[in-house]
Amino acid sequence: MLHEITLTVNGEQRTVAVKSHHTLLKVLREQLGITSPKIGCENGECGACTVLMNGKAVNSCLVLAVEADGAVIETVENLSKEGELHPLQQAFVEHNAIQCGFCTPGMIMSAKGLLDRNPHPTVDEVKEALAGNLCRCTGYIRIVDAVMDVAKKGDA
Amino acid sequence: MTTEVKTKVIGKSVWRNEDPRLLTGMAQFVDDIELPGMLHAAFYRSDYAHARIKSIDVSAARARPGVVAVYTAEDFGDYWHVGPLQVPPPLAIKGAQFNARPLVPIAKDKVRYSGEPLAVVLAESRYIAEDALADIYADLEPLPAVTDMEKALEPGAPLVHDDLGTNLAADVYQQVGDYEAAKAKADVVIARRFFKDRCAGGAMENRGIVCAWDEKAQKMTVWCGTQAPIPMRNAIAKNLGLSEDQVRLVIPFIGGGFGPKVMTSMPDDVLLPWLSRKLNRPIKWIEDRRENFLATTSERDQIHYAEIALTKDGKILGVKDVFYHNTGAYDPYGMTVPLNTQTHTLGQYDVPNFYTQIKMVFTNKMVVTPVRGAGRNYGVFVMERLMDLAAKELKMDPVEIRMKNLIQPHQLPYKTGIIGQDFVENVLDSGDYPASLKKAVEMIGYEKFVKEEQPRLRAEGKWVGIGVVNFVEGTAVGPYEGARVTVGNNGKVVVLTGCSTQGQAHFTTFAQLVAEQLGVDVKDVHVTTGDTDQFHWGAGTFASRGITVAGSAVYAAATKVRAKALSLASKLLETPEEELELADGVVRVADLPSKFIPLGELAMKANPTRGTIEPGVEPGLEATAYYAPPHGATGYGTNAIILEVDKETFDVKIRRFVFVHDCGTVVNPMVAEAQIHGGVQMGIGTAFFEQLVYDDNGQLLNASFQDYLMPKATDMPMKMELGHLSVPSPLNPLGLKGLGEAGAIPPPAAYAQAIENAIHDVDFEILDMPLNPSRLYELVKAARKK
C-alpha cells in the first residue's frame, strides 16, 4: 500500500508516495536520491545511516518512512554551503578523522545532533554520542578530537 | 639504490583530496549505483554447516510475481566450476604438501559451511528476491560437522572433502639450524599450547557488486568494491570466455577492505556476471550484515604447540612451533596466512635454530583468508608470550630479555632462511630494532613506572600493569604494480593504477609523489585507482603494499614524465635542462622565473596534430612505469602499554598506549599515523573484544554487531602516543616500507603481558586470545583455586 508523505529534507519540502514497510533510509536513498546515509547493518547497530530527524540523531534504518511524515530531515548533503565545508566537516579534514568515509556521514550527523543540543560537551559526552556509530578505519580518537575541536571553538 | 631525497611535498601532512566528496555525500559507493532495468539478487543459504543436498525445490520461488529467475547449481549446467585457486601452492618450499580445494560458487551435492549458497534469486526488487528465498525448500541431510582443528585430524573424523580422505589441507615445515640439538644444550626449555580464535574483517560497507552486460557492445561492465580489480577482471573474462578488454571493472569508493575484499571467485563475482549476460539485464547484489559475518571470509583461528630453549642467562638457543591453521571449508587463498605466521614468529630476535611446521586443516567453518594482520599477529603473540614465560622462569625483566636477543643493526639485511607468502626467502631489509625498544621504553617511562608508580598504585589496591612487546611487519610483497601518469592540456595530471583504495588515501599520497616530481599542486593530481579500461596491469591492494609497490611505480612514471617535460621545455625555452625547474604548474628558468611554459601548453606541444615529432620520442607528457620488488620490505616496531584491570568487573582500561614504528620514508605523516590508529583499533579488538563464536555444529552464534563486539568510540584509549623511526628501505628509490597492518599485530601480546603484570597477586598465564572480562575472570578464578 502506498502512503503519501510530506517531509522537509535538507530545507526542501518533498512529497513522496511510500510503501508501508519501507524505511526512511530506503526512501531517502532510492526515492529522494540522497545517498549519504549508508546501509551498514539495517538493524540499528552500526549508525552508518544516521540522519537528523527533527534535530535528533536517528538510525534512519529503524524509522519507517510513514513515521517521517511532517518531519524535518537533515543529512550531510545540507551542511556545506557554496563549496564551504561546515565546521564539523572541516574539522574532520584537518584532524584526518576520515579514512574510507563510509561511516563518516552518519558520524557527522551524530556529532551535529550532539553539538546542536549541547554545544560544549565533555570528551566523555562526545564518545557517548558517537558510541552508536561504528568505524573500522580510524580508531575514533581523531574523530573525537575533531568534534572536541569544533566544540571548543563553539562555531557549530 | 636509495639516495637521500630532498622533498617539497613528500613527507608533508597534506589534507586528503578525497575528503570533500566523502564529507558531502558526493562519493559514490557500489550500493549507490542504480541502473535502468536492474535486477536484484539474493542468495538462499544453507542453515547447516555440513549436509548432503538431496533436492532443492525452487518452483514456488519461480512462480512468485516479480521473480525473474532462480538458479541452483544444477541450473548453471556446464558453467558450474570449482575455483580457481587465487593464490598458488607454496611449491618453493621443499617437501610442502598442499591439497587444493578452492571455493565452489554455489553448493552442489554437499554443503561445507553454514551460509554456503544453494540458490540465487533474481527479482525486480530486493524485497521480492528476499521473499522468494522463503519459498525455496532445500531437502538437506545433516552430516556431523567438524570445527575443532585437532579433532578434525583424528581418525574417523567427519570429512569436509570426502574425496580427499583426510581433513589435512596442507603440511609444510621449514627449519633453520637444528632445534633439537640446541634444545639438548639448553638450560631452560619452556613449552606451551596457545590458541587464537577467529575475527571478522568487519568493513563497515558489506561486499557488493553491480554487473551489466551490453549485448550491442558485447561488453560486461562490473562495479565492485574489490581490493584486486585487475585479477577480478581477468577472472570474470576467463569465466565468461571473453577477452579481457570485453570486461570493464570500475571501482567506486570502497567502504573499507581489511582483507576479505581481496577475494575473487566468490559466488557473486562468478555467478552474477554470467547471469547478467544470460538474462541481458543489469544485476545488483549487496550483501547484508548477517551474510557478511556468515559467508564472507574471516581470519585468525590457530593452535600452536610452541617451545623455546634458552641459556640460563636468557640467550635464546632455539624455538620450535608446530601449529594448526584452520582454513575452514576450502583453501582458495593458498597458504598466505600461515606462511605469514612462519615468517613473523621470530620477529626481531636473533634465533639460530628454528623449526616451524604448519598443519592446515579443513573444517566446517567459513573460509579463512587474510584479515588485517594476516597471520603475522599470532606468530608475534606466540613468540612474545614465550619470551614473557622465559623471563618469569629466569627471573629476568621482560625488557631485558628482549634487549638481549634482538637482531643488531649491523646484521641487516638479515636473511631469515624462511620462505614467505611471496615464495622467496624472507629478508629483514632495514632498521634499528634496539632503537625501537629503547624509544618505547623511554616514551612510556618504564623504569619510573615499575619502580615508583606501580608500587604506589598496588599499595592502593589497584591492578595496574605494563607490557612491552616487539613485532615485525613483512609488507610490500610482489609481484609488481604499475602506473601511468599523464599531464593533460589543462595542466592537471592524471594518475592511473590498478591498486584500489579502501580508505588508505591513495588519492592523496599517490598525488603527492607526482606533485613532488612535476611541481604541481597536490589538488591538481587526479588519481584513478581501479578502472580496468584505463589501466589494466597490477595485482591489488593487500599485504600493506599500496604506497611501497604501487607508489614506487607512480613515482617512477612521474620521474619519466618530468624528464620528458624538461627535454621538451629545454628546446622551447632554449635553455639547458639543468637550468630549468618544475614549479607552480610550469617549467621555468630557475634564475629567470618570467621565462616559463605552463605544463598544459607543454602537453599540447608534446602531442602535435600536424608536423613531425622527433624519432624515438613518445608523444604526450605521459609515461608508464612498473615496480617489482625482489622481496618484501619489513617494517617493525614496539608496543608499550599501561593498563588497569577492574577488580570487580575484570574490564580493562588503557592508561597509556605507546606505539613506535618504522615504515622507512613517510609520504604523508598524517595518513601514516592514521593507519596505525586504525590498525591498533583492530589489534585491541582482537585482544579484548572480537571473537566469531562457532558451536560444535559449525553454527556462527554471533552474526551481528549486537553480538560481535567491535571496539566503539568509548573503548579506545584517550590518545595514541606514536614514536617514529625512519630507516629507509634499500629496496626502492624512496626508501618506503608498508605500515597498514602494523597496528593490528602487537596489541594482543601487549595486553597479555600487561594483564599478567597487573594481576600480580595471582599466578596465572594468558595463552589464548581473545580475552574479554568474563574469560579473564574465569582464568583468574581457576588460578586462585589451585
Q: Examine the pLDDT at B33 and tell me if it is beyond 80.
A: yes
Strand order in the sheet with B463-475: B463-475, B633-645, B652-662, B721-725
Q: Clarify whether residues A66 and A115 are in a common domain.
A: no
Task: Dump pLDDT digits (tens) for B291-319.
Answer: 999 999 999 999 999 999 999 999 999 99
Domain holding A11, by residue range, is 2-76
Structural domain includes residue A111: yes
Q: Clarify whether residues A70 and A96 are in a common domain.
A: no
Q: In angstroms, rounded to a whole number, what is the distance separating the alpha carbons of residues B393 and B400?
A: 14
| B27 inside 8 A of chain A by CB | yes
SS3 of B482-524 = EEEEEECCCCCEEEEECCCCCCCCHHHHHHHHHHHHHCCCHHH
**Last-in-domain residue among A48, A76, A104:** A76
Q: Clarify whether residues A70 and A97 are in a common domain.
A: no
- Angle (deg, nearest 10), helices B506-518 and B551-573: 30
Q: Examine the pLDDT at A19 and tell me if it is beyond 80.
A: yes
What's the pLDDT score for residue B328?
98
Task: Tell me what the mean pLDDT of segment B79-90 comes to.
Answer: 95
The rounded mean pLDDT for chain B is 97
What's the pLDDT score for residue B1?
40
Q: In angstroms, rounded to a whole number, what is the distance separating the alpha carbons of residues A33 and B291?
A: 26
Give Cα separations from B2 to B50, B103, B412, B729, B732 (angstroms).
54, 42, 15, 8, 7
Structural domain includes residue A81: no
Q: Which fold has domain B298-477+630-785?
A: Aldehyde Oxidoreductase; domain 4 (3.30.365)
Q: Examine the pLDDT at B4 and tell me if it is beyond 80.
A: no
Neighbouring-strand partners of residue B39: B283
C-alpha cell at B351: 634465533
Neighbouring-strand partners of residue B627: B481
Helices (H), B67-176: 126-133, 149-152
Give the CATH number of domain B19-27+478-627; options: 3.30.110.60, 3.40.920.10, 3.30.365.10, 3.10.580.10.
3.30.365.10
Run of H or E residues at B624: strand B622-627
Neighbouring-strand partners of residue B188: B310
pTM recorded for the entire structure: 0.96
Q: Clarify whether residues A72 and A13 are in a common domain.
A: yes
Q: Clarify whether residues A6 and A71 are in a common domain.
A: yes
* Per CATH, domain B206-254+260-295 is 3.60.20.10: no
Give Cα separations from A5 to A8, A12, A56, B647 (angstroms).
10, 14, 20, 54
Confidence of residue A155 (pLDDT cuts 50, 70, 90): low
Q: Clarify whether residues A71 and A121 are in a common domain.
A: no
Task: Dump pLDDT digits (tens) for A27-74.
Answer: 999 999 999 999 999 999 999 999 999 999 999 999 999 999 999 999
What's the pLDDT score for residue B3?
46
Q: Clarify whether residues A7 and A43 are in a common domain.
A: yes
Q: Which of B253, B504, B681 lies at the smallest CB-CB distance from A139? A: B681
Task: Dump pLDDT digits (tens) for B359-399.
Answer: 999 999 999 999 999 999 999 999 999 999 999 999 999 99
Run of H or E residues at B283: strand B283-286
Q: In angstroms, rounded to a whole number, what is the distance separating the alpha carbons of residues B174 and B94?
A: 8
Q: Examine the pLDDT at B5 and tell me if it is beyond 70.
A: no
| CATH number for the domain that contains residue A23 | 3.10.20.30
Count of domains for chain A: 2
* Half-sphere CA count of B457, side-chain side, radius 13 A: 22
Task: Tell me what the mean pLDDT of segment B193-202 comes to.
Answer: 97
Structural domain includes residue A99: yes
Confidence of residue B648 (pLDDT cuts 50, 70, 90): very high
**Last-in-domain residue among A56, A76, A96:** A76
Q: CB of A104 within 8 A of CB of A121?
A: no
Domains B19-27+478-627 and B206-254+260-295 share a fold: yes
Q: Clarify whether residues A115 and A54 are in a common domain.
A: no
Task: Dump pLDDT digits (tens) for B439-460.
Answer: 999 999 999 999 999 999 999 9
Confidence of residue B188 (pLDDT cuts 50, 70, 90): very high
**Cβ contact, residue pair A141, B719, below 8 Å:** yes
What's the pLDDT score for residue A81?
87
Q: Clarify whether residues A62 and A30 are in a common domain.
A: yes
| B313 inside 8 A of chain A by CB | no
Q: In angstroms, rounded to a whole number, what is the distance separating the alpha carbons of residues B656 and B241?
A: 57
Structural domain includes residue A65: yes
Domain parsing of chain B, residue ranges: 19-27+478-627, 206-254+260-295, 298-477+630-785
Structural domain includes residue A138: yes
Q: Examine the pLDDT at B513 and tell me if it is beyond 50.
A: yes
Closest C-alpha among B115, B220, B233 to residue B703: B115
Structural domain includes residue A53: yes
Q: Examine the pLDDT at B144 and tell me if it is beyond 50.
A: yes
**Cβ contact, residue pair B29, A94, below 8 Å:** no
Structural domain includes residue A142: yes
**Cβ contact, residue pair B18, A101, below 8 Å:** yes
Q: Clarify whether residues A40 and A100 are in a common domain.
A: no
Task: Dump pLDDT digits (tens) for B564-574.
Answer: 999 999 999 99
DSSP β-ladder status, B316-328 and B353-362: parallel
* B15 contact residues in A (CB cutoff 8 A): 93-94, 96
**Last-in-domain residue among A34, A51, A76:** A76
Q: How many angstroms away from the CA of A155 is the closest CA of chain B?
A: 18
Closest-CA residue of chain A to B672: A96
Q: Clarify whether residues A100 and A47 are in a common domain.
A: no
| CATH number for the domain that contains residue A133 | 1.10.150.120
Q: Clarify whether residues A71 and A42 are in a common domain.
A: yes
Structural domain includes residue A60: yes
